[in-house]
Structures are given as structure tokens and as C-alpha cells.
Chain A
Amino acid sequence: MANSAILVPPQGSIQIGATQTASTSSSIVFSSGITSSYSRYYFIFTDVAQTTSTPALVFLLNADTGSNYYYNILQFASTSNAAQNNGEFLLQYGNMGSAGTAHLSGIVELILPTSSDAYKMVSSKTFLRNGTTYQTVENSGFYNNASAITSITFEMTSSTIANGTFSMFGLI
């Protein structure tokens, strides 16, 4: 059953590119359209599930064109280490739960990703249904790197993404 949370970007936002659908995919990458034209970006993901094990969904910020990018795991509360380049920053409490029972939806806001200032602010709100358990988590942090962000990647910490849709919106 899909997670039924309703997620809407702010009024005036424009969808950039097509909605991407995961199907046992290792990651979902947005590499086109992240420019200085927009001050804020919103990433909405719906009904995301993992393939195996009990991973968490990861939000990665890529500041170069190669594979040597920093990543942040969006994580809530006291165990987070969001201020550091490689800080862990999970999108929900711990892992999502077992494959086949967990479904995650949420929204991530990324502010001024192409600026040369060090701090790119990130905030998120997620809704997780894991069997009969529901969980809502809000958190925020920043990406401490002066380089402009060139692409965004969603991936699981230790599994492929079984399914889910991902969309990117920009706000001037």
C-alpha cells in the first residue's frame, strides 16, 4: 500500500525535468537544471521502498562532475553530524524497516545550491509507514562546502530502491 502523505512544493514552484521512477534502481540522479536561476529547490519523493534489508534513504549533494562527491545522510536529532561535509543525516529515525513493509514519502528543501557560500541549507520532512507503525520526522542541517552543487542523488544506504517516484521543483 502506498504512503498516502500529501506533499506539495510552495506556490510558484516550477517542476524541472520529468518525474523519475525507481525500479530496482541503485540511485536517482538529478544532474540537469540545478542552476542559479532558482534560489530554492524542492525534491518530493513518494512511496519509496527498498529492495532488501533495512536501509535508510540518503540524500547526496554532488559538487563536482566526477564520483568524488561528498554525501550527506539525512539524519534526525542528537546522533546527527550534519555540520560536517560527510555528516550523517538520515531522512527518518534509523532505517526504514524491513523490505516489503516500509514505504517512505517526503520533501527535501535545498537553499541556494549553486552559491559559493559554504553553507547550503537543507531541511526535510518525511513520512514513513513501516507495517502498522507511522513516523513523521522533520530535520535540517547544512552542507559545509563552498563549491556549487552540480547534481543531487537519492540512494539507499545498503540496497537498491525497489520503487518510488522522485520530482524536482525550483522556486525563483
Chain B
Amino acid sequence: METERLHKMVDGEKVWLTEEEENALRAKWEKRATQEAAIQYQHDRRNAYASIGDQMDMHFWDTLNGTRTWQDHILSVKNKFPKPA
């Protein structure tokens, strides 16, 4: 089945991309996807870390009790979302 050509909306009007424009766009998508994949671990880690308040609470109790809750939390996130080699 033939794939329908891509379009863009320009000031409310549908404008079909030329073959050249579509090829250029798909090449840009591929390049960006590669770039994004390389830094995805940063976003995953940022979303997985506990809030600063919760981390301070972990520090407080670790200091009082001699535990390593905070270190374990940070380590678990880093291990779950490793930096690509």
C-alpha cells in the first residue's frame, strides 16, 4: 500500500510536502532520535530521583541512624538508568 505523503498546516491550510521536503524531514527525525537516545538516561534519572526534600530527609535519618538510605537510592537510580558506554 502506498504511504500517504506528509503534510503540514500553514496558517490553517493543509500543505502537502514535496518528496524532497519529506525526505529532508525524515532525515532530521532520524538524526534527532539518535541524539535523544544518547541523553535519554539523563531524563530517566531526573524523573526517578526523589525530591530534594525527600533526599534531605534521607540524609537526616542516615546521619542519625548510621544508615545509607540516600546512597542506596541514588545508586539504584543510576543502576536502573545507566549512562551509555
Contacts and interface: CB of A to CB of B under 8 A. Distances in A.
Interface of A: 17-18, 20-22, 25-32, 53-56, 67, 73, 77, 79, 93-95, 133, 135, 156-160
B60 interface: no
B29 A94 contact: no
A161 B8 CA distance: 10
Contacts of A133: 47
Contacts of B39: 79, 94
B11 A94 contact: no
A158 B36 contact: yes
Q: In which size bucket is the chain B interface?
A: 20 to 34
A170 B46 CA distance: 35
A20 B12 contact: yes
Contacts of B12: 17-18, 20
B6 interface: yes
B7 A25 contact: yes
Q: Which of B12, B21, B30 has the most CB of A within 10 A?
A: B12
B11 A53 contact: no
A77 B36 CA distance: 15
A17 B11 contact: yes
A28 B8 contact: yes
Interface in B23-65: 24-25, 29-30, 32-33, 36, 39-40, 42-44, 46-47
Contacts of A53: 33
B75 interface: no
A95 B46 contact: no
A56 B11 CA distance: 22
B9 A29 contact: yes
Nearest to B46: A93
Contacts of B14: 25
A31 B39 CA distance: 32
